Amino acid sequence: MTRRGTQVVRLAAVGAAAGVLVAGIALPAVGGAGFGFVAAADGVNLEPADLVEPPPAEVTIVQDVKGKEIARFYEEYREIVGFDEIADVMKTAIVSIEDYRFYEHGAIDVEGTLRALAANLRAGRVSQGGSSITQQYVKQVLLTSAGSDEERSAAVEASYARKLSELRYAMGVEKKYTKDQILEKYLNIAYFGAGAYGVEAAAERFFGVKASELTLPQAATLAGAVQDPNATDPNLGRAQRERLRARRDVVLSRMAELGRITPAEAAKARATALGYKGTKLPGGCESSKYPYFCLYVRHEILSDPAFGPTAEARLARLNRGGLTITTTIDPAAQAAADRAIKRWVRPSDHAVAAEALVQPGTGAIRAMAASRRYGRGADRNEISYNVVADAAHGGGAGFQAGSTFKTFTLLAALKQGMKVDDGLKAGAGYRAPGYAAFRNCAGENVGDPAHTVTNDEGSPGWKTLRTGTWGSVNTFFMELEQRVGLCETVTTAKSLGIRRADGKKLQEYETFTLGINEVDPVTVANAYAAIGARGRYCAPMAITRVTDGNGRTIRYRPKCRQVLDPAVADAASAVLSGVFTKGTMSGVGGIGRDAAGKTGTTDDYAAAWFAGFTPDLAGAVSVGDPRGSQRHKLVGVRLGGRYHGAVQGASVPGPIWRDTMAAALKRVAPTSFTPMDRDRFGGCGALCRPERPGTADQERRDREAPGTRDRAEPGDAPGR
């Protein structure tokens, strides 16, 4: 639409009009209502006032690593568009029905206001508005920016004082902007019903089109909706849709009456169906393709002081700020994880499989997947929390980590100078020789001479760092942890970012190495990623860039530190590589490139894990029953249509990890591990196997014996 006129009412004219209004209202016949208006008018200076215009709430968009949208957050679903991005017929329709003299009058339509005031005086109250589009824009701004219920009530209060204050703001707006600019602002802030704020969102919600593509009947429908968007909300039912259609026809008749369209065009448009599509509003984690990652990102923003001093301020920024959040998630890696999990565990299964993928050297989270759909539909077996992450990111209590924690004792031993063929004698059972055999990091004695740790299977005897790790021998790792120190093992784990999923303090008991603490896949995957990065730990990272509506950008960099001697990490990688060839994963197999990892099965099969890494990607998979892993063991269960007498680390989590990594790294050139420093870690040192007849043959058999399954490891139960 071309501009039809210029602002013709100057301050003097407005003042004169106000004088006419006051004089007319002061007639004796007016009574109490008239005197109330006179008092209000006397107390208000009819000079233009500057309206504070905070930007309307806009949609925050979350993108994957390639810039493709994956989720939206909003309080009001709105997309701001320019004047030229709105169909001319939409502008014509809204002006025709709401303020047909918009381009002829100034801040106030004197003719319309006099007519409304006459009706108001007859009623003894404000019953008609007579508001111009500019005044309606002012009201919407005041309503949108209201910070309390009292301010919202004041913004819509039916009083002369409020109308006069609104007029002063309208005068200021008319001085500040052109008519086209005011109309653009109004169309972007108005509520149309069905959860759609602004004409662009309304066009998409109602008809599945852009505001620039609206047809005559569609434009008339939206123009009709703004008068009472709740009463004509087509999403609420048939009665509301009928009222909306009737309003549309009123708009069409008015457009024809004003000569904006022909009677024939109006008749043709009235004959069309309403055409409401009810396009689903995008947004929220529940509707995202990556709901668990979406939850993680949301909690990252809500906990970051850069987005506001309080949780309330940060939530408002997320839901109203029109941010563009670029993240680390890789669609190819996510698809690989989703497919692998689906192959082994079904959404209808009681147990849930969860997996996180992390890039070594940056901490970038590349995928977060789970077998259960995210949502609140209990009848659909959905899960309503972030099963892949910790409580700080919307997760739950996690699952006991099992033998994946043995890796931290292995690292502690290597840090203290042990070589890969140094060993200890492991018995069929282990019992602490005294309370002082284990001390936590507070210096307290936590040994438990009354508790015996056993191995479900596997021969006792001399085990080295390599053979003990490959076979995941519980009694060997208890002996090893006693030797290197419980606190040293705990400290090593903490340096790699290990913490409990529930946010509580790590349990530092003698069975720490057996995985008594409940953790989440993101935390475990990230710890193993640090080994793959040769001891460089990087905090988990989900966001790389945030840009606000004004183009200001916050960039995020990896937060890394060297926590292990690279040579120690290399030696650990060499040992853990054997898990695929000579250990508990030998029956599952590797992925055709350098890889290392560790299975984990908790006491009585309460949960099962696999955590592993390559130099390019690390991942952790957990399987457990969210109804309560200690009450609902992974014994005699069906997962993915297969019956399992007992679920172990190598029976379900291991294959999920293998299938995921093979697919996720398919187009990534293999990177090899840095070879172990054999001079420093090769062979044995102070803890060589004692020489006695037949020991060489026995050690050879220990090294070559394949561990085809992850043992039940009943000793993984808490020591207390």
Partners of 518 in the β-ladder: 400
Burial class (CB in 10 A: 0-12, 13-18, 19+), 331: middle
Confirm whether 587 is domain-assigned: yes
Mean of pLDDT values over 440-468: 89
Cα separation, 393 vs 513, in Å, equals 26
Q: What is the dihedral of CA 582, 585, 589, 591, to 10 degrees?
A: -110
Confirm whether 346 is domain-assigned: no
CATH number at residue 402: 3.40.710.10
Confirm whether 214 is domain-assigned: no
303 pLDDT above the threshold of 60: yes
316 pLDDT above the threshold of 70: yes
Confidence of residue 9 (pLDDT cuts 50, 70, 90): very low
Mean pLDDT, the chain, as a whole number? 86
Cα separation, 559 vs 546, in Å, equals 17
Cα separation, 423 vs 404, in Å, equals 20
Confidence of residue 48 (pLDDT cuts 50, 70, 90): confident
CB 595 within 8 A of CB 613: yes
Q: How many residues does the chain have?
A: 720
CB 664 within 8 A of CB 333: yes
Confirm whether 363 is domain-assigned: no
For 502, residues 6+ apart whose C-beta sits below 8 A from its C-beta are 390, 391, 396, 397, 398, 518
DSSP H/E element including 73: strand 69-73
CB 487 within 8 A of CB 512: no
Confirm whether 654 is domain-assigned: yes
The pLDDT of residue 112 is: 58
693 to each of 150, 217, 287, 697, 702, how far by Cα in Å?
Answer: 90, 97, 67, 9, 16
Mean of pLDDT values over 465-491: 96
**Which pTM value belongs to this model?**
0.78
User: Residue 464 is part of which domain span?
Assistant: 369-541+555-716
For 380, residues 6+ apart whose C-beta sits below 8 A from its C-beta are 373
Confidence of residue 429 (pLDDT cuts 50, 70, 90): very high
130 pLDDT above the threshold of 90: no
| 3-state DSSP of 564-587 | CCHHHHHHHHHHHHHHHHCCCCCC
- Collapse the DSSP code of 407 into the 3-class scheme (helix H, G, I; strand E, B; otherwise coil) and give the result: helix
Confirm whether 501 is domain-assigned: yes
The pLDDT tens digits of the residues spanning 606-628 come to 999 999 999 999 999 999 999 89
Provide the domain count of the chain: 1
Burial class (CB in 10 A: 0-12, 13-18, 19+), 87: buried
Burial 158-170 (b: 16+ CB within 10 A, else e): eebbbbbbbbbbb
Mean of pLDDT values over 205-212: 96
The pLDDT of residue 720 is: 29
Confirm whether 581 is domain-assigned: yes
Confirm whether 141 is domain-assigned: no
Residue 84: how many CB atoms within 10 A of its CB? Answer: 9
Higher pLDDT, 320 or 673: 673
261 pLDDT above the threshold of 50: yes
Percent of the chain with pLDDT over 90: 70
For 376, residues 6+ apart whose C-beta sits below 8 A from its C-beta are 382, 384
